[in-house]
Structure 1
Amino acid sequence: MNTRLLLRLGFAVLVLAAIATVGNAMLTADATASDPAAAFEEGERAVDPPGETTVITTSQHGNNFLVAFAPDGTVAYYDDEYAFYNEVERVPGTNSVVYVATEHLNREQCHATEPCNRNVIERVNLTTGEREVLHERTNPRDRNQWHAIALLDDDGERIAVGDIAFDRVFVVDTETGVIDWEWEAQTDYNLSSGGVYPGDWTHLNDVEALPDGRLMVSLRNHDQVVFLDREDGLQENWTLGADGDHATLHEQHNPDYIPASGGGPAVLVADSENNRLVEYERTDGGDWKETWEWSDLDLRWPRDADRLPNGHTMVVDSNGGRVFELDTEGEIVWQVEMKGAYDVERFGVPADRDGIETARELGLPGETAQDTSARESVPEPRDVPAGSIGALEGVVPSILLNGLLYVLPPWFGIRELAATGVLLVAGMVWAGAELRWRGFRLRSPIERRRE
């Protein structure tokens, strides 16, 4: 038989087998694994009673939603209209929340030459379901979607927005639509720092209003938490972390400020690429000192950590597929399974953070998955299915593994990853062979050999 025919048959078998492997996994996947919306219905008893209303958003590649659990564990509100849901904050003294979400628009819908994101800041009454768009802006899809908001008054009329698309923070009056203050990262940072400009340069993913009027901002791709005075701008001597100093912070999310009244100033951070929660206190000398660290064998790419008035800590474990409450003994006392969760808002936390205490004040036990010291109890081994991509931890770099877990659906495991690799390699080799058989050679420029 002709050698070329045999090779073509071999390539065809490899390509078809790889496609069949991935296709079968996709078609046989549990619907709830690829469609989180199927997991919750308003009125159902979905989780153990959290004690206070608990609102969670999800933001991953796939179907996303906002869900509110009532104190008794029933689903009080559910919405999956938008493509992404990011930060959510309670309107003080009400049963309403304000959140930032993003709708994908095609070129025709946004009257542009490329697809767009419609970023909306919306208020919803969790009791009545009444919704109101407070502010919205559209930006090119490749500039990412808004992640962060902070309410600056009890009515939610003035809001600070972390504009990830244009690397800035601005304050908008939602009654008039007027932006009356802004800070641009380019004011204080060189374009050679952080990520790639003009793509994902700062990845500005959080803004928090502090009791003293300042704003605390997370610049993920600079590995820094910075503090802004609305009159003087960046307070450089308050910056936590440094660009590339991954021992301090590595592409963090959603820092939580603890004021001096609770033993601070301190910052509790979801240190995402380091797969840990970490707390830093500011010393009398103006430095930041690490005072607490926590992780377990399941924690993978956390994106939120909030200290509660009772000393517990709410945690969003995005790629670990869970949102949980950690008590003062380091034990998980409440949990809901949810892949791709982004932010959690537990009602009952004062807007001024009064009564929130540091880990040092509370005497919280620190724990890390790498700690080899003796303990009274040892965490159970991580329950990662043998075929899960998560089983590659320790084999591939954390930043690559977390990226794969973020963008790939839950049914896509090691077998499917291997099949995709076979498909790509076989396809490229086959294409190269066909070009060579037809007389093409790699030259500059590429040309066909004349016989």
Structure 2
Amino acid sequence: MERRSGYRLVFVVVVVLSGAVLSAGALSGDGGDATASAGGSITGDGETVAPPRDGITVVATDSNTWLGRESDGPRANAELVAVGPDGERIYYNDSHTRYWDVDPVEGTDATVEYVYADHLEPEDCGGEEVCTRNGIERVNLTTGEVTEVFSRVTPGKHSTRWHDADRIDGSTIAVADIERDRVFVVNTTTNNLEWSWNAQNKFPVADSGGPYPEDWTHLNDVEVLEDGRIMVSLRNHDQVVFLDREEGLLGNRTLGSDDDHDVVYEQHNPDYIPAERGGPSVLVADSENNRVVEYRNENEAGDGAWERTWTWSDGELQWPRDADRLPNGHTLITDSNGNRVIEVDGNGEVVWTLPVAFPYESERLGTGDESAGGPAREADGNGTASGASGGAGESGGESESGAEAGESSGGADNTDDAGFLAGLLSGPTVNAVMYVTPVWMGLGELLALVVLVVAGLGWLVAELRWSPLGATVRSPVDLEWRR
């Protein structure tokens, strides 16, 4: 009897503590009306939402701040947010269901182009139950003026929403078309497609990537390089590939291979750093491995082996989906399930944080498109990274520790307890669960939920085993047990 009472007491303590953690998380999120400090919606122009930082930071989110991220209920739209150098919100738009890629417009100080998706009503889908308008818009963050650039309607919504587009010149744009597993170049003046490449021409659909045709490649990023080549992220193939508009796939330059998760695991938003800035290198958000990595090619032409030269993670990084190298050698990281955008210096220290619910991509204006102005890192012989070139006074200033960005490596493969825990919780299952859970539910709350469910089931099974067949399960507070 005493042993059973002790077990009941343990169950009570575990359930109460787990419930307390969940309650605290829910209250901090305030049922979906969370403030920026709680990793929720950034509301109110002029509100201070982050520490001061040089330049405007623009964030596109793939979320809403209601109970679940993938719902279509109240407040189902995502957010496009701009934060000024003083840390104050200077622009906000939640008119679209989802926001994805955001790029600065060349020759402007405060104008960006972004990719959006709108889930349409059945009557607008030509007989389909659900469909999506994928589009590209341009906005002046100062005046708020929005200009439509290009859009198309695709069937369904999951794995048909365009995630990225990259401008080639004043009239043409390359689009990452998830729905058709292709990249195409469109003239936005004439609306004519000028070129396309389909992954089905080079990869077998039967034994590669994800499920075909539902979500085979999940082609989620396209980047037009300075020499005219096009770099493409095939997420479900765990590969970053390079295309030539005449030759097609340049197979000898591919980074990663299908199911080789040690290299990259369902990555997002790779950025190319050319030889003149220390490359050729690829900086990539290695999403399912919960880390940011950089690979350098052994040949300046980019057709040799890839060597990992830099790795960064911490105990909070959970499903990063963007990383940009800034001119001062810092790295701007978009941590989706961590509900934050952070800036990491050359020592691996987090020197700036913007809490925001489920961000997809971020951009620091004035530093070039994505990693266009940033240097590569060089391996120091130990598999970690030496300091990047560039002084601390550029576009991000000195780190809070007082060290300059060019001094040393840091943050590579952190081995503290939190980092070890995050490693145990890496992979698509945990990240997929966090994708559909409430915005306020981080790793701690998710663990508390698991513990609560396991403890509750264990308690129920124990009571059923202890009770005579057909008897009512006794109250846990009744410490007297029938023999």
Q: What TM-score results when the alignment is normalised by the length of structure 1?
A: 0.79
The answer as to whether partners of 1:256 and 1:267 remain within 8 angstroms in 2 is yes
Return 339-348 or 235-244, whichever deviates more: 339-348
Which of 199, 203, 226 is the equivalent residue of 1:185?
199
CA contact (8 A) 2:349 2:411 kept: no
Change (3 A) 1:32 1:70: farther
1:287-342 deviations in Å (ceiling 9; x for gaps): 11111111112111111111011111100111112111111121111111123111
Change (3 A) 1:283 1:273: same
In the alignment, structure 2 segments of 5+ residues that lack a partner are 1-18, 35-39, 64-68, 71-75, 379-387, 390-405, 458-483
Counterparts of 1:171-250 in structure 2, within 5 Å, are: 171-191=185-205, 192-250=207-265
1:74 equivalent in structure 2: 88
State the match for 2:275 in structure 1: 260
Question: 1:26/1:74 Cα in 2 relative to 1: closer, same or farther (>3 Å)?
Answer: closer
Q: What is the match of residue 286 of structure 2?
A: 271
Match of 1:399 among 428, 448, 451: 428
In the TM superposition, what whole-angstrom CA distance separates every residue of 1:364-410 from its partner, at most 9, and x where no partner exists? Answer: 51434454xxxxxxx6x649xxxxxxx98566663211111111113
| Partner SS for 1:237 | helix
Q: Does 1:106 find its partner at 2:121?
A: yes
1:367 pairs with one of 390, 407, 411:
411
Name the Cα RMSD after superposition.
Answer: 3.0
Aligned residue for 1:39, secondary structure, equals: coil
Paired residue for 1:281, among 296, 302, 321? 296
2:438 maps to 409
Provide the secondary structure at the position in 2 that maps to 1:202. coil
- Aligned residue in 2 for 1:316: 334
Partners of 2:370 and 2:234 in 1: CA distance = 23
**Partner Cα distance (1:185, 1:210) in 2:** 19
The 1:357/1:313 distance shift into structure 2, 3 A limit, reads: same
Residue identity opposite 1:144 in structure 2: T
Tell me which residue corresponds to 1:48.
Answer: 51
Partner of 2:165: 149
In the alignment, which residue of structure 1 is the partner of 2:32? 34
Change (3 A) 1:135 1:411: same
**Quick one: which amino acid aligns to residue 246 of structure 1?**
H
Q: One-letter code of the match for 1:232?
A: E
Contact 1:103 1:119 in 2 (8 A): yes
- Aligned equivalents of 1:400, 1:410: Cα separation in 2: 17
1:136 corresponds to 2:151: yes
1:291 aligns with 2:289: no
SS for the counterpart of 2:360 is strand
Measured after TM superposition, the shift of residue 195 of structure 1 is 0.3
CA contact (8 A) 1:88 1:99 kept: yes
Change (3 A) 1:188 1:411: same
Q: CA 1:295 to 1:399, structure 2 compared with 1: closer, same or farther past 3 Å?
A: same
Specify the alignment match of 1:444 in structure 2.
Answer: none
Distance 1:135 1:149 in 2: 11
> Which one-letter code corresponds to 1:163 in the other structure?
D
Question: Which residue matches 1:358?
Answer: 376
Unpaired runs of at least 5, structure 1:
1-20, 372-378, 384-390, 425-451
2:349 to 313, 331, 335: 331
Distance verdict in 2 for CA 1:35–1:190, change over 3 Å = farther
Query: Structure 1 residues 405, 229: CA separation in 2 closer, same or farther (over 3 Å shift)?
Result: same
Shift of 1:105: 1.1
Q: Distance in 1 between matches of 2:131 and 2:250?
A: 34
**CA shift digits 1:199-239 (9 cap, x unpaired):** 11001111111111111110000000001111111110010
Aligned-pair CA distance for 1:42: 2.0
The equivalent residue for 2:105 is 91
Q: Distance in 2 between matches of 1:161 and 1:186?
A: 17
The CA distance in 1 between the partners of 2:309 and 2:272, in whole Å, is: 14
Taking structure 1 as reference, are residues 290 and 369 closer, same or farther at Cα in structure 2, changes over 3 Å only?
closer
2:124 aligns to what SS in structure 1?
coil
Deviation sequence 1:403-430 (CA, Å, 0-9, x none): 1111111355456567889999xxxxxx
**Alpha-carbon offset, residue 152 of structure 1:** 1.0
Give the corresponding residue for 1:17.
Answer: none
> Which digits, 9 at most, give the CA deviation of each residue in 1:40-81, with x for residues without a partner?
222222221221011001114254211011122221210111
Question: After superposition, what is the alpha-carbon deviation per residue over 1:80-124, rounded to whole angstroms, capped at 9, x for unaligned?
Answer: 111111110010121211100111112112222320111111111
Count of residues paired in the alignment: 388
**Residue aligned with 1:172, SS:** strand
Structure 1 residue matching 2:134: 3-state secondary structure:
strand
Name the CA distance, whole Å, in 1 between partners of 2:188 and 2:81.
Answer: 24
| Alignment-derived partner of residue 57 in structure 1 | 60
CA shift in 2, pair 1:75/1:104, >3 Å: same
- Once residues 247 and 30 of structure 2 are traced to their aligned partners in structure 1, the CA distance between those partners, rounded to angstroms, is 49
* 1:158 maps to 2:156: no
Instruction: Report the TM-score, using the length of structure 2 for normalisation.
Output: 0.74
Give yes or no for contact 2:290–2:423 (8 Å, CA) kept in 1: no
* Preserved CA contact (<8 Å) 1:33 1:410: no
Q: Which moves more between the two structures, 43-52 or 94-103?
A: 43-52
